[in-house]
Amino acid sequence: MNVSLHRRLSAWLGMSILVVGLVAAALAFAIEYNGANTLQDTQLKQIAAVLALNPLPTTAMSFEPRSLGDREAHLVIKRLGAADADAGTGLALAEPLRPGLQTIQQGEVLWRAIVSEDVLGQRFAVAQHMAQRNDFALEVAALALLPLVLSIPVLLLIVNRVLTRAFAPMSAMTAEVDGLDGSKLKPLDERPVPLEALPLVQAINRMMRRLATLLDQQRRLVSDAAHELRTPVAALIVQADNVEHVNLSPEATTRMAALRQGLTRMSALIDQLLNFARVQGAAPAVSQRLDLNQLVRAAIEDALPMAQAKNVDLGCPRIDEAAIQGDPLHARVLVRNAVDNAVRYTPSGGSVDVSVVAEGGEVFLVVEDTGPGIAREDLKRVFEPFVRVLGSEQSGSGLGLAIARTAAQALGGTIELGERNDRHSGLRFTYRQMQA
Amino acid sequence: MLGHAVVQALRDASYAVDWLRDGQSAAAALARHGFQCILLDLGLPLRDGLDVLRELRARDDSTPVLVITARDAVDQRIEGLDRGADDYLVKPFAVGELLARMRALGRRRAGAAAPVLSNGVLALDPASKAVTAAGRRHALSNREFALLRELLVRPGAVLSRAELEDRIYGWGEEVESNVIEFIIHSLRKKLGPESIRNVRGLGWMVERAPQAESAQ
């Protein structure tokens, strides 16, 4: 199982922030709550101390919320042992009470009270509703909680941002590596890579360079081999011509024709191998504006002799003005292979329609034939070099579509193969590229 | 192997052949003897073919040189022609094409390059504005001649209606509709229906004969 470092870090950091934040919040709450209570006790003590400096009046006093405008200030001051047990304060105190701070239960209501003596030695009590005190403490504690609780999502957000930022070079690099194919291997940019990942990227780059050299050698080998083959094939063809120059028996003439056909096929294969090596980037590509109509016309002119020999009707139902940007060699090879393949695989009496359609900023080269088509399961495979579909007796080089696809990639366009969508059956080859 | 085969082919065609197998001896032979035509393979041992060619041209020797090369990259052709080659042939090739090109070089050298335009089936004589097809001579109208000439300049090339109209009508001349079809119809009547082929949606062409030159 592969583990995402990003996700792992996110999870751990997020959890830590959450747990630590919550514990800290709980602690802060408890501390503040206690503090608030202690503070209120201290206040009671101070009030009692101040009151004790003077002789107390005999009546009980109650500081109502209204008089001070603050509910928490509700305070009852009462002389103990006085006749009026309650005096409207709601607090009836029964002796004996020990001096000092205490909690008194009276019916449903809890009081916090301090019992003290004034200068004349008269005992008195200062009391507060417990519920009021608790409300105040809760409020204070809750206020203390607020910044901590608010900081948790902010922290989570920051961690997420920082992690995404830190992993961005990796994501970018993945996209970059995914975008590479054999024809344009180039080392990855090492500048945005974090120090920790640098050795890995450098290793990848070293491998990439070795791979590029290897691919280059391979391409050159194919190209060189094809070139080297040309001379012996030329010799064979000339030799065959020479043999035909001698008076041959009719049977020998027939056999010579077969030999000659094989030679023609061989030289066509060599040409296709060279084309393949070329579109794979044996030569550096140039980019210029190309008239697609001219390319189509040249391809049709090249394929016409074969079409006429096979009695295949080759034509253009629609040909829009269209220009593309790219390497002329790639474009030429692409168009020629598309047309050539269609004519090659169309049986006698069939037709091949080549259309150029310019629509919505894009150019479409559509080649439709009335051949056997390609089974759905073979559609991907036929782009591989030397893959021939079973059942087709035609003898192509097996490279046409591989060449076309490589050329299409170099041009920045895409090839789509499928069934025709009109009343005919056959293969529909569509090449699309941005209009120049 | 190719050398043997070519020498055999040339002897069969009644040429006298000197075959030199490396660049040095080729250069030496070229300095001593005069030849009618030189077939130069660029991939020579000991001395590069282009080098031999440059030396030949530096001596002001204008013997026709037909370069035979396995490399068909465009710049290499240009380099060969720049160095003074008269024509080039890319391997592999048919003997017929080799002989045809040698004959063409010979004619060009003699200053008698045929003015007759031909694709091997039709032969158009610009002087008399007449065309020969299947051994019969047909007189042509001016428009018929102009159209056929455009097609025969490059047999196998497709010309669209607009291109044909452009080329056979001058600036400002009124082009009647369907006039191209009309001219082609009358040409086909004289020369046979297969003489000018229609390519659906693109235009018209005359067929490129496989050995166009040798038919002349």
Three-state secondary structure readout of A60-100: CEEECHHHHCCHHHCEEEEECCCCCCCCCCCCCCCCCCCCE
Residue A168 has pLDDT above 70, yes or no: yes
pLDDT band at A100, cuts 50/70/90?
confident
In this complex, do A234 and B2 lie within 8 Å of one another by their Cβ atoms? Answer: yes
Mean pLDDT, range A171-184, rounded to an integer: 76
How many whole angstroms separate alpha carbon A123 and alpha carbon A178? 89
Nearest to A125 by CA among A62, A37, A36, A39: A62
Look up residue A57 and give its two tokens: 């009046």
pLDDT band at A112, cuts 50/70/90?
confident
> If you write DSSP's letter for every residue of B74-95 in order, what string do you get?
HHHHHHHHHTT-SEEEESS--H
pLDDT in tens, B13-67: 888 888 888 888 888 888 888 888 999 888 777 888 888 888 888 888 888 899 8
Q: Can you say how many angstroms the Cα of residue A19 is from the centroid of all Cα atoms in its chain? A: 30
Look up residue A436 and give its two tokens: 């120049």
For residue A297, the chain B residues in CB contact (below 8 A) are: 158, 202
- The answer, for A316 touching chain B at a CB cutoff of 8 Å, is yes
High-pLDDT (> 90) share of chain A, %: 22
**pLDDT at residue number A86:** 55
In this complex, do A314 and B199 lie within 8 Å of one another by their Cβ atoms? Answer: yes
Least Cα separation, residue B14 to chain A (angstroms): 12
Q: Can you say how many angstroms the Cα of residue B143 is from the centroid of all Cα atoms in its chain? A: 26
Are the CB atoms for A196 and A39 separated by under 8 Å? Answer: no
In this complex, do B9 and A241 lie within 8 Å of one another by their Cβ atoms? Answer: yes
pLDDT in tens, A348-385: 999 999 999 999 999 999 999 998 888 888 888 888 88
Residue of A nearest to B205 (CA): A301
Residue B111 has pLDDT above 80, yes or no: no
Mean pLDDT, range B114-135, rounded to an integer: 82
A61-70, A110-119, A400-409, B126-135: the lowest-pLDDT one: A61-70
Residue to substitute from B91, B160, B207, interface A, most A β-carbons within 10 A: B91
Residue to substitute from B75, B200, B206, interface A, most A β-carbons within 10 A: B200
How many whole angstroms separate alpha carbon A396 and alpha carbon A273? 12
For residue A237, the chain B residues in CB contact (below 8 A) are: 92-95
High-pLDDT (> 70) share of chain A, %: 89
- The answer, for A225 touching chain B at a CB cutoff of 8 Å, is no
**pLDDT at residue number A63:** 62
pLDDT in tens, A181-224: 666 677 888 887 888 888 988 998 898 889 888 888 888 888 88
For residue A342, the chain B residues in CB contact (below 8 A) are: none
How many whole angstroms separate alpha carbon A215 and alpha carbon A183? 8
Q: pTM of the full predicted structure?
A: 0.64
Amino acid at A131: A
Are the CB atoms for A201 and B54 separated by under 8 Å? Answer: no
Sheet arrangement for strand B65-69? B38-41, B65-69, B87-90
Write the residue in A235, A318, A319 that is nearest to B2 by C-beta: A235
Residue of A nearest to B95 (CA): A238
For residue A313, the chain B residues in CB contact (below 8 A) are: 200
Q: Which helix (H) or strand (E) holds B123?
A: strand B122-125
- The answer, for B92 touching chain A at a CB cutoff of 8 Å, is yes
The SS3 of residue A290 is strand
**ipTM score of the complex?**
0.72
For residue A238, the chain B residues in CB contact (below 8 A) are: 2, 5-6, 8-9, 92-95, 98
The torsion defined by the Cα of A340, A346, A351 and A355, in degrees rounded to 10, comes to -40
- The answer, for A286 touching chain B at a CB cutoff of 8 Å, is no
Q: Beta A313-315 vs A351-359: how paired, if at all? A: parallel
Name the range with the highest mean pLDDT among A188-192, A227-231, A363-367, B161-165: A363-367
**pLDDT at residue number A359:** 92
In this complex, do B43 and A231 lie within 8 Å of one another by their Cβ atoms? Answer: yes
Mean pLDDT, range A300-305, rounded to an integer: 91
Q: Which helix (H) or strand (E) holds A278?
A: none
Look up residue A266 and give its two tokens: 């061989």
Are the CB atoms for A436 and A413 separated by under 8 Å? Answer: no
Look up residue A141 and give its two tokens: 């504690």
What Cα–Cα distance (Å) separates residue A71 from each residue in A46, A88, A90, A417, B82? 19, 18, 16, 83, 108
pLDDT band at B91, cuts 50/70/90?
confident
Per-residue DSSP letter, B42: S
The mean pLDDT of chain B is: 82
pLDDT band at A166, cuts 50/70/90?
confident
Contacts with B145 (C-beta within 8 Å, 6 or more apart), sequence order:
B124, B129, B131
**pLDDT at residue number A323:** 93
How many whole angstroms separate alpha carbon A410 and alpha carbon A283? 12
**pLDDT at residue number B216:** 31
How many whole angstroms separate alpha carbon B12 and alpha carbon A432? 52
Are the CB atoms for A322 and A293 separated by under 8 Å? Answer: yes
Q: Beta B130-133 vs B136-139: how paired, if at all? A: antiparallel
Least Cα separation, residue B213 to chain A (angstroms): 17
Q: Which helix (H) or strand (E) holds A314?
A: strand A313-315
Write the residue in B8, B91, B157 that is nearest to A234 by C-beta: B91
Mean pLDDT, range A311-330, rounded to an integer: 91
For residue A317, the chain B residues in CB contact (below 8 A) are: 200-201
Count of pairs with CB atoms under 8 A, one residue in A, one in B: 99
Strands, DSSP E only, in A37-174?
61-63, 75-79, 100-106, 109-117, 123-129
Longest dimension (CA), chain A: 157
Contacts with A340 (C-beta within 8 Å, 6 or more apart), sequence order:
A299, A302, A303, A306, A400
Chain B residues 37-76 within an 8 A CB cutoff of chain A: 43, 68, 70-73
**pLDDT at residue number A85:** 52
Residue of B nearest to A309 (CA): B207
How many whole angstroms separate alpha carbon A296 and alpha carbon A339? 8
What Cα–Cα distance (Å) separates residue B9 from each residue in A246, A297, A419, B29? 11, 36, 49, 21
For residue B197, the chain A residues in CB contact (below 8 A) are: 304, 308
In this complex, do B73 and A305 lie within 8 Å of one another by their Cβ atoms? Answer: no
Least Cα separation, residue B96 to chain A (angstroms): 8
- The answer, for B207 touching chain A at a CB cutoff of 8 Å, is yes
Question: Please, where are the H alpha helices in B43-141?
Answer: 49-58, 74-82, 95-109
Amino acid at A49: A
**pLDDT at residue number A90:** 65
Q: Which helix (H) or strand (E) holds A426?
A: none
For residue B93, the chain A residues in CB contact (below 8 A) are: 234, 237-238
In this complex, do B202 and A233 lie within 8 Å of one another by their Cβ atoms? Answer: no
Are the CB atoms for A104 and A127 separated by under 8 Å? Answer: yes
How many whole angstroms separate alpha carbon A123 and alpha carbon A117? 4
In this complex, do B199 and A241 lie within 8 Å of one another by their Cβ atoms? Answer: no
Residue B90: how many other CB atoms lie within 10 Å: 16
Look up residue A312 and give its two tokens: 């295949």
Q: Which helix (H) or strand (E) holds B112?
A: none
Question: Please, where are the H alpha helices in A180-318?
Answer: 198-245, 250-277, 292-310
- The answer, for B94 touching chain A at a CB cutoff of 8 Å, is yes
Residues B176, B179, B181: CA angle, nearest 5 degrees: 150
How many whole angstroms separate alpha carbon A245 and alpha carbon A319? 46
How many whole angstroms separate alpha carbon B49 and alpha carbon B30? 12
In this complex, do B199 and A304 lie within 8 Å of one another by their Cβ atoms? Answer: yes
For residue B6, the chain A residues in CB contact (below 8 A) are: 238
The mean pLDDT of chain A is: 84
Mean pLDDT, range A89-94, rounded to an integer: 67
